[in-house]
Amino acid sequence: MSDDSTKKSKKEGAGSSCMDEADMGYGGPKELTSEWWAEFVREEDKYKLELSGKLKLLFEILKMCEDIGDKVALKRSKRGSLAL
């Protein structure tokens, strides 16, 4: 095996395709913006909290705490993750 074919074999690895990124139409990573979700969320659904499983759970917990008089403290883990 020549050095070039050995390098290519190692680069492709097990189970990888022989097509390179250019063949698949992949132009590289997109720029990550604060509105990465815009292509997945329709404008009319933008403020519908019931579409988020995490927010539904949060509001159920808040309602249960309100019913029994408990206080709740919320903490975010990353600023960007709440930028929806």
If you average pLDDT over residues 48-67, what whole number do you get? Answer: 89
pLDDT confidence of residue 34: 66
pLDDT at 75: 84
Q: Evaluate if residue 77 carries a pLDDT over 70.
A: yes
Instruction: Specify the 3-state DSSP secondary structure of 70.
Output: coil
Instruction: Say yes or no to pLDDT of 63 above 90.
Output: yes
CA distances from 17 to 10, 14, 51 (A): 12, 9, 37
Report the pLDDT value the prediction gives residue 68, as an integer from 0 to 100.
Answer: 96
Greater pLDDT, 28 or 35:
35
Measure the CA–CA gap between 42 and 44, rounded to whole angstroms: 6
State the pLDDT at residue 74.
86
Ramachandran region, residue 43 (left: φ > 0; alpha: ψ -120 to 50; beta: rest): alpha
Where are the domains positioned within the chain? 49-75
Average pLDDT, the chain: 72
